[in-house]
Amino acid sequence: MQKFSTGPAFEGAQINSGQRATPGAIERVRISPESGKARFKVIGIEPWSDEEGFSDAIKKTGVTGICGSGIIEVVAELLLAKLMTADGVIGGEGTNPSKYIEPDGRTFSYVLYKSPDEGKIISVTQNDVRAVQLAKAALYAGVRLLMDYLETDQIDSIQLAGAFGSHIDTTRATVLGLIPDCQKEKVSSVGNAAGSGAVMALLSKSSREEIQTLVNDIEKIEIATEVAFQDHFVEAMAIPHKTANYPFLSSYVDLPQKSKATKPTRKNRRTRERN
């Protein structure tokens, strides 16, 4: 078993509207491929944004930002709705036009939420997408490097640990390319695995002995010094990946064709502005 931590990468750091997972944060996102409009769920509020009672319920907390699980989902949904290229370019060549994509300097942003009085606007910027790409590429590259050491091209199962891991939508995480392709039923969240292990070690002698045996068998690999790590990292910047196949994911998710574009074209910019 291999363990990686994404650290603060998906906890709102360097994200325009990012924040911790507290009441008011967007935690779930679905984007309509037809209109480009997002429906979302906010922590502390039961109904989704398009359901009856949302407007009244949201008065308690407001919509304050996007937490880690929401960031993962919105970037994955932008790809699935064809509002972003596989290279991570919002409004890039070949994407669908939408009034929710707005010019933002030399790039575009996606408007996830705009309050009725337009006093609060929550957008996903191009810089936000790049920050997510860097974080997920580093995680994927580390996993891929260990797969090289084990001489395997397929992972039997994936377990997402920690409080954050227990709230991640495993399908969107795979679409994003945060984790390698794996059978859907073999990807799961295990909650506070570190805390559970500490309790086991404290209360069970046999568990402590088993843990010690495992510790003695650990082989440390400095992935940052491995030449192959950089190659894996560069290829993992694409969403979900530049070269890796995702046969399991493709069996239940319609992945868009990867675009060759790297930046919005002038034609696309004019189309967005007219819309």
pLDDT tens track for 154-170: 899 998 887 777 788 99
Cα separation, 275 vs 97, in Å, equals 7
pLDDT of residue 1 exceeding 80, the answer is: no
Based on the domain organization, do 266 and 246 belong to the same domain? no
Higher pLDDT, 266 or 188: 188
Is residue 135 assigned to a domain? no
In this structure, the answer to whether residues 211 and 237 fall within a common structural domain is: yes
Same domain assignment for residues 109 and 176:
no
Residue 245 in any domain: the answer is yes
Q: What is the DSSP string of 118-155?
A: SS-EEEE-HHHHHHHHHHHHHHHHHHHHHHHHTT-S--
Residue 160 lies in domain: 141-250
Is 4 contained in some domain? no
Whether 104 and 191 map to the same domain: the answer is no
Task: Decide if 246 is inside a domain.
Answer: yes
The answer to whether 271 touches 94, Cβ cutoff 8 Å, is: no
Answer whether residue 136 is part of any domain: no
Q: Is the peptide bond before 240 cis (omega within 30 degrees of 0)?
A: yes
Report yes or no on 73 lying in a domain. Answer: yes
Look at residue 192 and tell me whether its pLDDT is greater than 90: no
Q: Are residues 269 and 179 in the same domain?
A: no
pLDDT tens, residue by residue, 207-241: 999 999 999 988 888 887 888 999 999 999 999 99
- Count of domains in the chain? 2
State residue 12's pLDDT score. 66
What confidence score (pLDDT) does residue 5 get?
A: 45
pLDDT class of 204 with cuts at 50, 70, 90: very high
233 and 265 assigned to the same domain: no
Residue with tokens 């929710």: 100
118/15 same-domain check: yes
Q: Is the pLDDT of residue 255 over 80?
A: yes
- Scored b (16 or more CB within 10 A) or e, 129-154 reads bebbbebbbbbbbbbbbbbeeeeeee
User: Which residue in this structure is represented by tokens 């007219």?
Assistant: 274
Same domain, 239 and 263: no
Does residue 122 share a domain with residue 21? yes
Confidence of residue 258 (pLDDT cuts 50, 70, 90): low
Shared domain check, 76 and 166:
no
CA distance 168 to 245: 22
Are 35 and 120 contained in the same domain?
Answer: yes
Query: Is 125 in the same domain as 158?
Result: no
Residue 2 resides in a domain: no
Per the domain annotation, does 155 fall within a domain?
Answer: yes
